[in-house]
Amino acid sequence: MDWKEKALEYHSRGRHGKVETVPTKPCQTQEDLSLAYTPGVAEPCLEIAVDPLKAYRYTSKANLVAVISDGSAVLGLGNIGGLAGKPVMEGKGVLFKRFADVDVFDLELNTQDPEKIIEVVSALEPTFGGINLEDIAAPKCFHIEEELSRRMEIPVFHDDQHGTAIISAAAFLNAVELQNKKIEEMKVVFSGAGAAAVGCALLYVDLGVKRENMIMCDRSGVIYEGRKENMNPFKERFAVRTNLRTLEDAMRGADAFVGVSSAELVTRIMVKSMAPRPIVFAMANPVPEISYYEAREARSDIIMATGRSDFPNQVNNVLGFPFIFRGALDVRARSISIEMKVAATKALANLAKQKVPESVLVAYGLKSLEFGPEYIIPKPFDPNVLFSVAPAVAEAAMKSGVARKQIESLDAYTKELEKRARHVASLRMPEAD
């Protein structure tokens, strides 16, 4: 059976798709029925009518996230529409549940009009504890997220933008340390000017990279002051005064390359032209801007990361969104603040320096794994990601003033997370045929 047949069979066997809804309360007796629905259901309704925050106690809102997409920029498939993108959104739901015990409704929209999307999503606020925007094309994704964040009193998170930024930034912090460089002196070149590139650039600035030391390139070349071709307000924010015009020009002497663009845009010669001890994050998927082997052949002093699981240092968004929402939901956050994003970044970076659990070595067929050039970011199946990132995000939410619930003991909270992890592990999972 080839890969296509295997994937289609996986999605279609048994109950079609990848998710289902199950009740969390018994409904086996007359009394159960009376409590679940009428007349008993009136009591929590009346409580919530008096105090809306009680919805977090009496309904699923406290653990429910909407994964929402218009299908305009699905993975590497492009604008295939909401319906065709549904398998991806269901997949996000599986990852939310598997890694952080967060429940998800995936909602695929039959419109790509940003104003309609804003109206639809903002009207859903009573249902959800958080909104995960997914696979919405730039530049409209920026406007949609900003406007929804302004209107809504629950976290709104565009994963393609902030998820990639947080995971790559964690890897970047460790790579800078290992290469014995100073982040404020780093000259960083970005290939791509969409959601992921803009998200990465903004977060890197918050971590200490100077805006004047950044050069962003798109398919038209360097984004420079005064350029008229293929520009928008979001690109204008990264326009620099320079005579450089091509990606090749920009990479000459650069300390770091961050690629979130297209396959095979970077050559060995371009990597050789970079500064000593370069950092190359070629994160285009499935084919990176330059392959792992080509980059390593070009420079022996390189630290390399890609978006692929078959090479070291995979930048994988599953390291971020489940745990960020877990922490945000558990303190009933109104939004996801920059402090929460930085906290998640630093928690991931620090975790890579800790001892790797034996279960991770077994899962990846490794004998050993330790912090170094080929291990700058944790593996997705490391159970300690949950126990590191969620508490860091929750604490940052409380300190930055966006939390509506205070956690008195982070140690006790971590024990609650351990219970959640055991709960997920105990769930009935369909067996492979």
State the catalytic residues: 37, 92
197 with 216: CB under 8 angstroms?
A: yes
Token pair belonging to 185: 């002196």
- State how far the Cα of 216 lies from the Cα of 239, in Å rounded to an integer: 8
CA 180 to chain centre: 27
Strand order of the sheet with strand 103-108? 103-108, 64-69, 130-133, 156-158
Report phi then psi at 384, rounded to 5.
-75, -10
Q: What is the separation, in whole angstroms, between the first and last Cα of the chain?
A: 13
**Neighbour tally for 26: CB within 10 Å:** 11
Report phi then psi at 158, rounded to 5.
-95, 105
Torsion over CA: 389, 392, 394, 396 (sign): negative
360 with 290: CB under 8 angstroms?
A: no
Pairing of strands 221-222, 214-218: antiparallel
Residue 254, C-beta contacts closer than 8 angstroms, at least 6 positions apart: 187, 188, 189, 215, 274, 275, 278
**Neighbour tally for 357: CB within 10 Å:** 15
SS3 425: helix
Find, among 345, 350, 412, 348, the residue nearest to 380 by Cα: 348
244 with 215: CB under 8 angstroms?
A: yes
